[in-house]
Amino acid sequence: MKAQSLALLSCLLLASLALLVEGKKEQDKKKGHSPGHRSQPRMRKPRGHFRTPDQKECRWAVVEEGDNAMLKVECSGKDNQFSCFFAGKPHSCPEFTNKKRVYWRQIGRSLVRQTNICKDSQTILKTKLCRKKFPEAHLKMVNSTLIKKKDTEAKGMTTTTRTLASGSRETIPAEGQQPSLGISGPECEQDPDIQYQRTLIQEYCGDSWASFCQFFLAIVQDKPCY
């Protein structure tokens, strides 16, 4: 009789232990799936794509987050490819902390509205979320491959222009200035024939034809005088 009682008691104890173990497992499962213990998924960095008015395909993505955010834009078309960067401090805007998705969605819309993407160094991507109260929260363009290319071409054109200008510096004679057709020296001043020819030039040629007459006489006379 005692043996049967002990056997029954042992079975009851084993059953109780089994129930306790199963109950513990269920509690652990519930804790693992409860909202307080659920692992928070990491938010993917904002990104998007758009098409420019001249049909270039562009995509943008936030490459740096934190106090100083950095956004990169890459565009490609049939004739060229280019990229640019925008930077700002979105955390300076109090609304950004709780409305990050709204902020980046508005930044994406601002990109789509740009007509000269990556071409104007004064471009600013603004959001309605932060408006004018927090200008640092807007993203300003800080770098662009298109602007670098323009600067390089402009420097090249300036250098070429300077080279051409320095190589083509020729003296242009002043109006009314004529090249020397002979030598004016003591032997010319004392020659009576030369003096007579000059008198004829002054009397018959006048001021308007004096240069032509001097040129003609310089050709036919023996002495290189005028």
143 & 193 share domain? no
201 & 142 share domain? no
Least confident of 23-32, 56-65, 141-150: 23-32
Per DSSP, the three-state class of 217 is: helix
Per-residue model confidence as pLDDT tens digits over 41-75: 566 788 999 998 888 999 999 988 778 899 999 99
Q: How confident is the model at residue 138 (pLDDT cuts 50, 70, 90)?
A: very high
**Full residue range of the structural domain in which residue 193 is found:** 186-220
Residue 167 falls inside a structural domain: no
136 & 86 share domain? yes
Percent of the chain with pLDDT over 70: 48
Number of domains in the chain: 2
Domain boundary among 128, 151, 174: 151
Burial of 220 (0-12, 13-18, 19+ CB in 10 A): exposed
Per DSSP, the three-state class of 172 is: coil
83 & 132 share domain? yes
143 & 200 share domain? no
Q: Residues 221, 214: contact at Cβ < 8 Å?
A: no
* Strand ranges for the chain from DSSP E: 47-51, 57-64, 69-76, 81-88, 124-125, 139-144
Instruction: Say if residue 121's pLDDT is above 60.
Output: yes
Domain boundary among 130, 151, 172: 151
Residue 174 falls inside a structural domain: no
215 & 121 share domain? no
Q: Residues 87, 73: contact at Cβ < 8 Å?
A: no
Residue 190 falls inside a structural domain: yes
> Can you give the pTM of this predicted structure?
0.50
User: Which pLDDT score is estimated for 170?
Assistant: 45
User: Which pLDDT score is estimated for 158?
Assistant: 46
User: How many residues are recorded in the chain?
Assistant: 226
Q: Residues 85, 141: contact at Cβ < 8 Å?
A: yes
197 & 122 share domain? no
Domain boundary among 151, 172, 204: 151
Burial of 9 (0-12, 13-18, 19+ CB in 10 A): exposed
Kindly report the three-state secondary structure assignment for every residue of 107-130: HHHHHHCCCCCCCCCCCEECCCCC
| Beta-strand relationship, 81-88 and 124-125 | unpaired
116 & 209 share domain? no
Instruction: Say if residue 133's pLDDT is above 80.
Output: yes
Residue 169 falls inside a structural domain: no
How far from each other are the two terminal CA atoms of the chain, in whole angstroms?
163
